[in-house]
């Protein structure tokens, strides 16, 4: 039984194509000619930023690590290498450990309170309006947005000085409380160890809420309106919409905000210097950056101060890594890492 002529022709064509494919040279994928445009692109957009990063970020950090292992006074041309003695001394210093504890408290409390309040305001402005019709925020939400953002445009040192005067025994806060019949007996809010840190945290949160509210509003505006309308049709209330729709959609924005606020809290030098330059009663508001400044410029111990800076930098990196890890555990892997 013979094969059909058409089938023989098709088989011959397949055989010829396979033979040609076998003789064909492998394609050079991924290779690119070194043209002037390609080289200039690499130099301008890769080489130059990398050089700037190495010179102005990596190099100073390496110098700080070296200085932290010396007894440099900051004003002498000579210094002796003493190894890790400065770090051992730091972790035996009760004042530094207390300052580290204050920073840890700020890094936990300030981002948490700020983000919660900012999310509440952002939700009210975007989805907190009528429960019928188009999804929109409260009436006059634009006005609330401007008013809430206003504290962020004021320099931090100005905010700290203003609230320092408000918190004084004869300041505005005690005066307002007196109007409502609350006699504070000229209480010093920043001069009492029980209230100094709480008053400081309030100032930092007050100055930051507006910015992160605007950040979250922009993120929520990026969620398709159909998603929110579908949730409303399914009977989801405002609270359920925020927790089940908005938060998962803006998780990356919340993570970024938490990291930035944590870095701010781990520094907090400007706020602390303006509110209570001495570190508060019993060092209740002293932070590592304040103690670093005092050690370097008042005591002339730049080697020890550099060790504090290295510890602060490492803690900042650890904090960012922990936040990213926690968000991954809670919210799952990023889209690119899903199977």
The CA distance from 168 to 193, in Å, is 14
- Residue-level pLDDT at 132: 61
Residue 47 above 50 pLDDT?
yes
**Which H/E stretch holds residue 41?**
helix 36-42
- The pTM of the full predicted model, rounded to 2 decimals, is 0.81
pLDDT band at 338, cuts 50/70/90?
very low
Terminal-residue alpha carbon distance, the chain = 52
pLDDT digits (tens, 9 = 90+) for 9-32: 544 555 555 555 555 555 454 566
CA 79 and chain centroid, separation? 36
- Residue-level pLDDT at 64: 92
Domains of the chain: 85-333 (1.10.3720.10)
C-alpha dist (Å) from residue 43 to 34, 89, 181: 12, 45, 69
C-alpha dist (Å) from residue 84 to 17, 64, 68, 106, 302: 71, 13, 8, 28, 14
pLDDT digits (tens, 9 = 90+) for 53-98: 999 989 999 999 999 999 998 888 889 999 999 999 999 999 999 9
- Residue-level pLDDT at 339: 40
Tell me what the pLDDT averaged over the chain comes to. Answer: 85
> Rounded to the nearest 10 degrees, what angle do helices 94-127 and 141-149 cross at?
160
Tokens of 4: 């059909």
pLDDT digits (tens, 9 = 90+) for 175-201: 999 988 888 888 999 999 899 999 999
């Amino acid at each position: 039984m013979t094969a059909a002529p058409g089938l023989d022709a098709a088989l011959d064509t397949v055989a010829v194509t396979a033979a040609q494919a076998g003789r064909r040279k492998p394609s050079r994928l991924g290779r690119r000619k070194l043209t002037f445009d390609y080289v200039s692109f690499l130099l301008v957009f890769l080489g130059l930023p990398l050089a700037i990063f190495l010179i102005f970020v990596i190099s100073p950090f390496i110098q700080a690590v070296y200085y932290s292992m010396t007894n440099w006074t900051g004003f002498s041309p000579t210094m002796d290498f003493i190894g890790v003695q400065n770090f051992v001394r730091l972790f035996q210093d009760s004042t530094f450990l207390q300052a580290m504890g204050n920073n840890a408290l700020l890094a936990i409390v300030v981002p948490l309170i700020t983000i919660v309040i900012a999310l509440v305001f952002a939700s009210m402005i975007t989805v907190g309006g009528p429960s019928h019709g188009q999804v929109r925020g409260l009436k006059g939400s634009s006005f609330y947005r401007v008013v809430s953002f206003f504290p962020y445009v004021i320099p931090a040192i100005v905010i700290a000085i203003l609230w320092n005067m408000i918190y004084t025994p004869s300041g505005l806060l005690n005066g307002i409380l007196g109007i409502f019949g609350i006699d504070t007996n000229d209480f010093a809010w920043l001069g009492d160890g029980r209230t100094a840190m709480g008053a400081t945290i309030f100032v930092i949160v007050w100055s930051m809420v507006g910015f992160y509210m605007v950040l979250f509003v922009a993120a929520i505006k990026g969620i398709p309106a159909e998603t929110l309308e579908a949730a409303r049709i399914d009977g989801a209330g405002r609270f359920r919409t925020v927790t089940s729709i908005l938060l998962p959609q803006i998780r990356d924005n919340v993570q970024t905000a938490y990291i930035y606020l944590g870095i701010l809290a781990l520094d907090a030098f400007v706020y602390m210097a303006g509110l209570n330059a001495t570190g508060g009663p019993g060092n209740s508001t002293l932070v590592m950056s304040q103690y670093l400044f005092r050690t370097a410029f008042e005591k002339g111990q730049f080697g020890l101060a550099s060790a504090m800076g290295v510890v602060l930098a490492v803690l900042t990196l650890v904090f960012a890594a922990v936040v990213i890890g926690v968000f991954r555990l809670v919210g799952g892997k990023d889209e690119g890492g899903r199977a």
